[in-house]
Amino acid sequence: MLRTALTATLMAAAAWSQTGDVKLAEQAYKNIVELKGVPAEQVLPAMQFMATSLGVDCNFCHVQGKMDADDKATKKTAREMMHMQAEINKTNFRGQKQVTCYSCHRGAARPVAVPPVLDSDAAPRPAAPMAAPPAQGQQVTADQILEKYVTALGGADAIRKINSRVQTGKITAMGSDSPIEVFTKAPNKRVSISNGSSYTAFDGTAGWMGNTGRPVREMSPAESMASAVDAEFALALRIKELYPQLRRGRPEELAGATCEVLNASGPGRVPLRLYFDSKSGLLVRLVRYADTPLGRIPTQVDYADYREQDGVKTPFRWTLSRTNGRFTIQISDLKNNVPIDDAKFAKPTGDVK
Ligand code: HEC
Ligand code: HEC
């Protein structure tokens, strides 16, 4: 049932796999019923989607150490729910994942069927901000939004004159700060090193992670695809090539500022939603979506503190938020066009040095 909707995911996974054959869920795991036919690497993202939609941990449905066992009633219910979700979407929404666990559960194990009464004198607020309708006679196109962005950054010529960048600053997560260095090189290589020992990298083709003295871990195809977005050195100039489908969405308010919105998708790419400040033209938010067999998991990056150096503006602060956590990076020093050896981005063999 989930199979048709997943063809695109399967193809994307196959494109990444060097040998071209994709291991299926039922080949990699012991007790798969609903996720049959899904690539094995999509099983854990599907689990994350269920856990985050219900606001629970893995052990809500599983006994630790025996994930294949069906000894919890909640796991059996979850399987029925997966089946129900697929049926609802097949019957009503042409197989599109319009209704998901989150639609009903909204972060709780037990959905609420009855609307609440007012608990204060304040008017009830809709869960999501209302989109402002586009102003009459001011219809801008996706191309115009991108042109304004490129101009706001300093223009295409200035952007092309910079080919590498070294940034240092601090990363703040869960209230504590650590030093961070970020090395980037055109067109799409990136490595960030926090505390001098914790690496997250994209070598231009695939991503890897690791800590000094421990074995390196390759990113899954889905993680790699997400990491590839962050690694784009000049997304402003490459976006049309990478994302042939660029559609303008309805403008939205972000922290009091009106933003133009672009939805981007393309073969083998994670779908993106981009928010540009209508006044400055700068990119203020990027949301990328990891497709799972059950629904999409968002990662949001908010950009701020744009400063100009060598004729080009870059954000000196960004906050990355996921369903289960967030961190902020504040850059204090930036150097452009510093030579960086490609070896800096390459996945080490064995332990991370
Ligand atoms: C809401 C219930 C629920 C939650 C929460 C949940 N799972 Fe699952 N899990 C399931 C169900 C149902 C299956 C079987 C899927 C199928 O039949 O295709 C499963 C299967 C699995 C399997 C395959 C086991 C095998 O060998 O057959 C693994 C591994 C797994 N889950 C890991 C996790 C992890 C890790 C988490 C936490 C991030 C998690 N699950 C959270 C319900 C859940
Ligand atoms: C169309 C609405 C809807 C969707 C979609 C939905 N659920 Fe549910 N779910 C419910 C309702 C309603 C209940 C409560 C049933 C009851 O109280 O007997 C429930 C109960 C559950 C329970 C039992 C909770 C407990 O405390 O025993 C689990 C587990 C569960 N759902 C998992 C899921 C998962 C996982 C998904 C997505 C694959 C999902 N549900 C999608 C409506 C939905």
| Residues 6+ away with beta carbon under 8 Å from 334 | 165, 166, 167, 307, 309, 314, 316
pLDDT-based confidence at residue 2 (cuts at 50, 70, 90): very low
Nearest to 135 by CA among 54, 43, 251: 251
More confident residue, 8 or 21: 21
Distance CA(210)–CA(340), nearest Å, equals: 20
Cβ atoms < 10 Å from Cβ of 164: 16
Does any ligand 2 atom lie closer than 6 A to the CB of residue 74?
Answer: yes
Residue 38 CA, closest ligand 1 atom number: 18
Per-residue pLDDT, 9? 44
Split at pLDDT 50, 70, 90, the class of 331 is: very high
Closest ligand 2 atom, residue 82 Cα = 38
- 187 cis-preceded (ω within 30 degrees of 0): yes
Q: How far apart are CA 63 and CA 76, in angstroms?
A: 13
Pocket of ligand 1 (CB under 6 A): 29-35, 43-44, 47-48, 50-51, 54, 56, 58, 60-62, 67-68, 74-75, 78-79
CA–CA separation, 301 and 335 (whole Å): 22
pLDDT of residue 208: 97
Q: How far is the CA of 59 from the centre of ligand 1 (A)?
A: 9
